[in-house]
Amino acid sequence: MTAPEGVPPKNVLAVVAPHVGGRGAGAALATVFPAGARVTVVESAGEDPAALREAHVVVTALAPVTADHIAAAPHLELVQCASHGYDHVDLDAARERGVPVCTIGSSSAEHHNVAEQTFALMLALAKQLVPAHMALTGADWALPRLQQSLTELYGKTLGVVGLGRIGAEVARRAVAFDMNVVYAGRRRVDPGTEARLGGARHVPLDELLRTSDYVTLHVPLTDATHHLLDAGRLALLKPTAFVVNTARGALVDQDALADALESGALAGAGVDVFDPEPPTSALRLLKAPGVVLSPHVGGVTRETLVRIALAAVENVADHLAGEPPRDVVGG
């Protein structure tokens, strides 16, 4: 979609953090914007003060957009996150300016891949794939040693924290593995959705933690969900349980999770997201027992990146054409 005829082009600042592709990914993103956009690509919002000052739209790919950045952009009309998450944007500052902040939440761009990554981590944990692989590369036939910790997904209870679009995709796959699904969240979904998800049951978070064999997180990072799994809540889990986080690193107290793994209070964890990203070498989870780690790959397959870019650009194009943007989370 292009801007209406006679409307001058508007300035778009595309901010792509280095750890998700930086300038190279930003250059590719710039090619799909409509003619009614003049795109400047940077790796941090404050990198080009003149471009920020003239920006009408900021598109951010997991790069911080702070109150100072928003204050330095007097013409700013929209902040578009090329992601489902929006914790890297100062929502309060945007709200004070009346600037909407949008995600790509309704696009389904990342849903399938995040659900697949969640199950990849769950299967790796159940089948002990990482220690098995490492042992075999060292000519160690580890079967006798690993056999006591091998398990299966069949018949296990999966606790989904946040049964939104991605959480529902995870639950749908759990049904195919003959798992029992429980979920926690602010509200119960409709009975028809529960039935399609194998009779999924809505339970309080603490009950979910006490009864689940696998706990997977699919909620946004907000003040209310920061360290949602802290030491107290992790202590509710069974010692045979696994935690999987493909949402945001700060949903979990990483030191408390390392404590639980090191003490044997928890069987294992699959972690695709960290706080901060990339993690520092001092992060204890990197060396904790029973972990399977991946570098935030849950939304960045070749196919997913194309869908994310197109969803973000389509929302910006709608704005440039005078149409209301979708997936507004602040404003």
Whether 136 and 98 share a structural domain: no
Whether 126 and 217 share a structural domain: yes
In a domain, 5, yes or no: no
CA distance 295 to 108: 21
Query: Is residue 186 annotated as part of the catalytic site, yes or no?
Result: no
Q: Are 57 and 72 in contact (CB under 8 A)?
A: no
Query: Is residue 296 annotated as part of the catalytic site, yes or no?
Result: yes
In this prediction, residue 123 carries a pLDDT of 98
Q: Which of 248, 307, 314, 319 is catalytic?
A: 248
Domain containing 144 — which CATH number?
A: 3.40.50.720
Whether 22 and 118 share a structural domain: no
Whether 38 and 140 share a structural domain: no
What digits encode the pLDDT tens for the residues 80-111?
Answer: 999 888 999 999 999 999 999 999 988 888 88
Whether 91 and 124 share a structural domain: no
pLDDT over 90 (residue 286): yes
In this prediction, residue 1 carries a pLDDT of 43
In a domain, 4, yes or no: no
Mean pLDDT of 155-173: 97
* pLDDT band (50, 70, 90) for residue 153: very high
Q: Are 104 and 160 in contact (CB under 8 A)?
A: no
Q: Given the DSSP bridges, would you call strands 328-330 and 201-202 parallel, antiparallel or unpaired?
A: unpaired
pLDDT over 70 (residue 174): yes
In a domain, 1, yes or no: no
Q: Given the DSSP bridges, would you call strands 328-330 and 101-102 parallel, antiparallel or unpaired?
A: antiparallel
| Token pair of 103 as six digits | 């995600």
> What percent of the chain has a predicted confidence (pLDDT) above 90?
85
In a domain, 127, yes or no: yes
Q: Which of 218, 233, 296, 307 is catalytic?
A: 296
Mean pLDDT of 312-326: 92
Whether 52 and 139 share a structural domain: no
Whether 80 and 164 share a structural domain: no
CA distance 123 to 183: 20
DSSP 288: -
Q: Are 27 and 38 in contact (CB under 8 A)?
A: no
**What is the domain extent for residue 232?**
111-293
What digits encode the pLDDT tens for the residues 65-77?
Answer: 999 999 999 999 9
Q: Given the DSSP bridges, would you call strands 37-42 and 78-81 parallel, antiparallel or unpaired?
A: unpaired
Whether 167 and 285 share a structural domain: yes
Domain count, the chain: 2
SS3 81: strand
Query: Is residue 5 annotated as part of the catalytic site, yes or no?
Result: no
- The whole-model pTM stands at 0.82
DSSP 90: -
In a domain, 183, yes or no: yes
Q: Which of 97, 112, 277, 326 is catalytic?
A: 277
Residue that the structure tokens 């204890």 belong to: 284
Whether 46 and 69 share a structural domain: yes
Phi, psi of 241 (to 5 degrees): -85, 160
Mean model confidence pLDDT for the chain: 94
Enumerate residues 6+ apart whose C-beta is below 8 A from 309.
28, 29, 32, 82
In a domain, 134, yes or no: yes
Whether 221 and 86 share a structural domain: no
In a domain, 3, yes or no: no
Whether 169 and 133 share a structural domain: yes
* pLDDT band (50, 70, 90) for residue 330: low
Radius of gyration of the chain (CA): 21
Whether 281 and 313 share a structural domain: no
Alpha-carbon dihedral angle through residues 51, 56, 61, 63, given to the nearest 10 degrees = 60
In this prediction, residue 268 carries a pLDDT of 98
